[in-house]
Amino acid sequence: MNAFTLRVKSAPAFRVDGSKLLPATLAQMSSTERARLPLHADGETCAIGDLFDIAEADATDASLRIEGDVAWLDRIGASLTEGKLTIHGNAGDYAGIGMSGGELSIEGNAGRFIACEMQAGRVTIQGNVGDFAASALPGNMEGMSGGTLVVHGDAGARLADRMRRGTVLIGGNTGDFAASRIVAGTVCVAGQTGAHLGYGMRRGTVVLLKNPSRVPPTFTEGGRGFDVFWRLLARMLAKEIAPFSTLAQNALPKRYTGDLAVDGRGELLIANS
């Protein structure tokens, strides 16, 4: 296996499509081919060697490490199937879109549509993310359908819109329409949520550590018999990030079901309430 390191040497004045920067793709090329691999942008094309210094080393697992702020680099980790990709800095939009395996870790902030339509794998963001994380692309009917997204900071609007499966954990706050139109899956938020929480929710689970400013009027309180489910879920979440570490020790959360406007059977669990 090979471990590659890309160090930013020249940031372009335009946005660049980084979807070709995958560990398995780079491992199949010679050093000359890697340096010449074209990356596309808005009417521009540039080679990897124009933007990065490239280093290679032997490793037990395929990996790619990008060092430097690459907020101009979009679609990093797109369609990742295996290996580990780490960014030591900020990333652009669409990071991890369509992932079906592997691990993407961003140690700064990321833009919009992070983990959009993700199928499997794991995405970890140490900072904040923009709108439409773990959601569907505009016009599409299915958002995230598997895998895990962990954001230690805040998330923008429309988090997990049209989500069908998988787990999303937010350590900070979210914008409006969090968990809107979800069909299944688990969304957990440690901070505050914006307006229209769970709008159009059909199934799935939303876990909140703080009371929302307003429980949607189309959700109704009640429900029993979820003790075992909650204990198992709380133990799983406790292993992820610090805000959820004590959930397993707490009393059962307050439970609401909805969105009744769409005959929804989703559940909203408010811990510490």
108-155 confidence digits (pLDDT tens): 999 999 999 999 999 999 999 999 999 999 999 999 999 999 999 999
Domain limits for position 214: 68-270
- Residue range 239-266: mean pLDDT, rounded: 88
Residue closest to 39 by CA, chosen among 4, 68, 59, 10:
10
Residues 211 and 155 in one domain: yes
pLDDT at 263 over 90: no
Q: Quick one: pLDDT at residue 220?
A: 94
Answer yes or no: do 19 and 75 share one domain: no
Specify the 3-state DSSP secondary structure of 254: strand
Residues 137 and 223 in one domain: yes
Whether 119 and 205 map to the same domain: the answer is yes
* 96/217 same-domain check: yes
DSSP 251: P
Residues 190 and 118 in one domain: yes
Shared-domain flag, residues 197 and 249: yes
Within this chain, do residues 84 and 53 fall inside the same structural domain, yes or no? no
- Choose one of 62, 81, 96: the last residue of a domain: 62
- Domain boundary among the residues 12, 28, 62 is at 62
Q: What percent of the chain has pLDDT over 70?
A: 99
| 103/237 same-domain check | yes
In this predicted structure, what is the pLDDT of residue 273? Answer: 52
What is the band of 229 on the pLDDT scale with cuts at 50, 70, 90?
A: confident
Of the three residues 32, 62, 92, the one that is the final residue of a domain is 62
Determine which of 27-31, 76-80, 200-204, 269-273 has the lowest per-residue pLDDT on average.
269-273
User: What does the mean pLDDT of the chain come to?
Assistant: 93
Tell me the β-bridge partners of 38. 47
Instruction: Give how far Cα 204 sits from Cα of 144, 177, 182, 184, 254, Å.
Output: 13, 15, 7, 4, 16
Query: How does DSSP assign 209-250, residue by residue?
Result: SS--SS--TT-EE-----HHHHHHHHHHHHTT-GGGTTGGGS
Query: Is residue 42 located within the same domain as residue 104?
Result: no
- Residue 82 makes CB contacts below 8 A (sequence gap 6+) with 23, 24, 62, 101, 102
CATH of the domain at 168: 2.160.20.60
Q: Write out pLDDT tens, residues 175-194.
A: 999 999 999 999 999 999 99
Considering its fold, how many domains does the chain have in total? 2
pLDDT band at 245 (very low <50, low <70, confident <90, very high): confident
How sure is the predictor about 225, in pLDDT bands with cuts at 50, 70 and 90? Answer: confident
- 105 and 74 share a domain? yes
Are 17 and 73 contained in the same domain? Answer: no
- pLDDT tops 60 at residue 171: yes
Q: Is the separation of the CB atoms in 91 and 75 below 8 Å?
A: no
